Amino acid sequence: MPVAMAKMFGSKMISGGGKPTRLTRMSSAWNTRSAPSLRNPDFVPVVIHSYRHRYGLVPGDPRVTLRPMFGNLAAFVNGNMFAGLFGEDLFVRLPDAEAAPIRKAGGRDFEPMAGHAMRGYVMVPGAWQSKPEPARGWIKQALTITGKMPAKKPTQKAAKKPAATKKKAGR
C-alpha cells in the first residue's frame, strides 16, 4: 500500500523499511506482497469512499468515476483522466497557464516513466497530504476544464485471431 493510501487509511506500510518516495522504487518483493490488495473486491470502493468523503479530494459530481491507473487510482470525467495518485504524489490535468501557479508553488511535470513527461499533467507540491486545501481547488479546476472536453468513446478490444496450425513436414 503506497504511503499516501496508508495515511488515508491510518495503517502502517507493509514494506517494513524506510519510507519509499515513489511506487517505482519499491522492491519486487513489496509489489508481490501488496498486489493481492488490488484484487480485493473492496479495495476500490474503500479508496473511493476515502477520497470523496473523508478527505473531500474528489468532488461528488456524478460524472466522476475512479478506477485503477499507475498502480493507484485516478479520477475520470467523461472517460478523460483529470487527477490521480502516483505513489505518494498527486497529479492533475491542467493547461500550462493554469498549471504555472502549481509549478511556482513547487509542482513539477508528471512523469510516470523517468524522462517521459505527460503533457497537460502536473504533480502538485508534496505538502498536499498535510495541507489539502490547494489540492482540492486544483482538482476542482481540473474537473471543470476536463469536463468540457469531448467524451472518450470506449475502445473495442480486437477479436483474437485463431491460432495458425502448423503443417507437418513432408506432407
Burial of 43 (0-12, 13-18, 19+ CB in 10 A): middle
pLDDT at 159: 64
pTM for this model (two decimals): 0.60
- Whether 16 maps to a domain, the answer reads yes
- Whether 155 maps to a domain, the answer reads no
In this structure, what C-alpha cell is assigned to residue 169?
A: 513436414
pLDDT at 122: 93
Range of the domain at 136: 3-147
Three-state secondary-structure class, residue 52: helix
pLDDT digits over 18-30, tens only? 444 444 455 667 6
Report the domain count for the chain: 1
Residues of the chain with pLDDT under 50: 1-3, 5-24
Residue 114: CATH number of its domain: 3.90.1150
- Whether 152 maps to a domain, the answer reads no
- Whether 101 maps to a domain, the answer reads yes
pLDDT at 104: 92
The pairing of strands 89-93 and 72-77 is unpaired
- Whether 164 maps to a domain, the answer reads no
Q: Strand order in 108-109's β-sheet?
A: 64-69, 72-77, 80-86, 89-93, 121-123, 108-109
- Whether 160 maps to a domain, the answer reads no
pLDDT at 143: 93
- Whether 22 maps to a domain, the answer reads yes
* Pairwise CA distance, residues 125 & 89, whole Å: 8
pLDDT at 58: 74
- Whether 159 maps to a domain, the answer reads no
